């Protein structure tokens, strides 16, 4: 399987360059906290505020990696392309907390897994900025009393990373814009109204698969030897989505924002050579 995926990337990219590598600790551990405001789901009028402590692990294995890009498996990487297995997640929805869903079943939290191809589309300007085309496709699973598959998503997007020096720290600014797609099962999970839950103000509705709106993300991250901090915001638009006339869609936009801060307290003495597609320099 790994060989097949590697050949696919080679055929897609057509040309490769020298891999960028640097020596970093095999693992690191940090303690921190953060705060987040997020809509109950895309299209909801209700928001949730969350404050949380967390343990932030970093692991830089040959295949498995855990870092500020999430949990991923790295199949293949050059200076121009990277093929990973990536993950994403969404929180649960308590229908009692959302007036438009009153009387409907709660929504279990979901996790998503699938391949992502990243291509560098701008000629490199060493250490300062890079523009990436990201092509993720993921299978979605709801985690409740049992684990069940609830559809597929695809989220092609462009991301610009740029190094910024500010407040005596080195920061990485990330700006992303892209499209959201989902199959019928995934859109039904959030936006379908079965006939038994229909009311005068909430008619039955069956969401179709296809276009799911647009998404814009901004991140501002600083990673030093002792600490890591991140500010982030995500803006969603649902205009033209196949489910935008669902009675569960109360608005056609939504904003998520928050921050995270962590301090490292332990790290491996063993150093490893980490090969990644060229990123802007961030660590001080």
The sign one gets for the Cα dihedral 128, 134, 139, 141 is positive
Whole-number pLDDT of residue 5: 32
Count the Cβ atoms, other than its own, within 10 Å of residue 91. 15
Q: Given a cut of 60, is residue 13 above it in pLDDT?
A: no
SS3 151: strand
Rounded to the nearest angstrom, the gap between the alpha carbon of residue 56 and the centroid of all alpha carbons in its chain is 16
- pLDDT for 83-96, tens place per residue? 888 888 899 999 99
Q: Given a cut of 80, is residue 126 above it in pLDDT?
A: no
Whole-number pLDDT of residue 125: 56
Mean pLDDT of 115-143: 86
Q: Where along the chain do its domains lie?
A: 2-276
Burial class (CB in 10 A: 0-12, 13-18, 19+), 29: middle
Q: Given a cut of 90, is residue 127 above it in pLDDT?
A: no
- Return the closest-CA partner of residue 76 out of 16, 159, 138, 157: 16
**CB under 8 Å to 255, separation ≥6 — which residues?**
37, 39, 233, 234, 235, 236
Whole-number pLDDT of residue 276: 63
Percent of the chain exceeding pLDDT 90 equals 62
Whole-number pLDDT of residue 66: 81
pLDDT band with cut points at 50, 70 and 90 for residue 65: confident
User: pLDDT higher for 58 or 154?
Assistant: 154
CA pair distance 150, 112, nearest whole angstrom: 10
Whole-number pLDDT of residue 21: 55
- pLDDT for 175-189, tens place per residue? 999 999 999 999 999
Of the candidate ranges 42-51, 69-78, 163-172, 246-255, the one whose mean pLDDT is the lowest = 69-78
Q: Given a cut of 50, is residue 12 above it in pLDDT?
A: no
CA pair distance 231, 260, nearest whole angstrom: 7
User: pLDDT higher for 140 or 284?
Assistant: 140
Whole-number pLDDT of residue 165: 87
What is the average pLDDT score of the chain? Answer: 86
Whole-number pLDDT of residue 222: 92
Architecture of the structural domain at 2-276: Beta Barrel (2.40)
Mean pLDDT of 21-39: 89
Looking at residue 122, the DSSP 8-state letter turns out to be S
Q: The whole model's pTM is what?
A: 0.84
């Amino acid at each position: 399987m790994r060989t097949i995926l590697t050949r696919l990337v080679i055929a897609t990219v057509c040309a490769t360059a020298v891999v960028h590598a640097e020596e970093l600790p095999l693992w690191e551990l940090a303690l921190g906290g953060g705060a987040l405001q997020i809509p109950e789901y895309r299209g909801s009028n209700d928001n949730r505020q969350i404050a949380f402590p967390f343990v932030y692990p970093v692991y830089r294995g040959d295949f498995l990696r855990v870092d500020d890009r999430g949990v991923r498996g790295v199949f293949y990487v050059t200076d121009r392309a990277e093929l990973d297995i990536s993950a994403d997640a969404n929180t649960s929805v308590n229908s009692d907390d959302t007036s438009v869903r009153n009387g409907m079943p709660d929504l279990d939290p979901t996790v998503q897994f699938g391949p992502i191809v990243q291509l560098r589309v701008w000629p490199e300007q060493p250490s300062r900025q890079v523009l990436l085309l990201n092509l993720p496709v993921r299978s979605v699973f709801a985690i409740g009393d049992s684990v069940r598959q609830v559809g597929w998503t695809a989220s092609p997007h462009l991301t610009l990373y740029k190094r910024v020096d500010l407040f005596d720290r080195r920061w990485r600014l990330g700006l992303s814009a892209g499209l959201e797609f989902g199959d019928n099962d995934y859109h039904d999970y959030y936006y379908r109204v079965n006939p038994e839950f229909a009311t005068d103000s909430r008619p039955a509705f069956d969401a179709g698969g296809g276009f799911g709106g647009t998404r814009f993300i901004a991140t501002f991250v600083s990673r030093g030897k002792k600490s890591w901090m991140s500010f982030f915001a995500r803006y969603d638009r649902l205009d033209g989505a196949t489910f935008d006339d669902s009675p569960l869609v109360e608005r056609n936009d939504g904003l998520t924002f928050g921050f995270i801060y962590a301090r490292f307290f332990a790290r491996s003495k063993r150093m490893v050579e980490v090969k990644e597609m060229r990123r802007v320099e961030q660590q001080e």
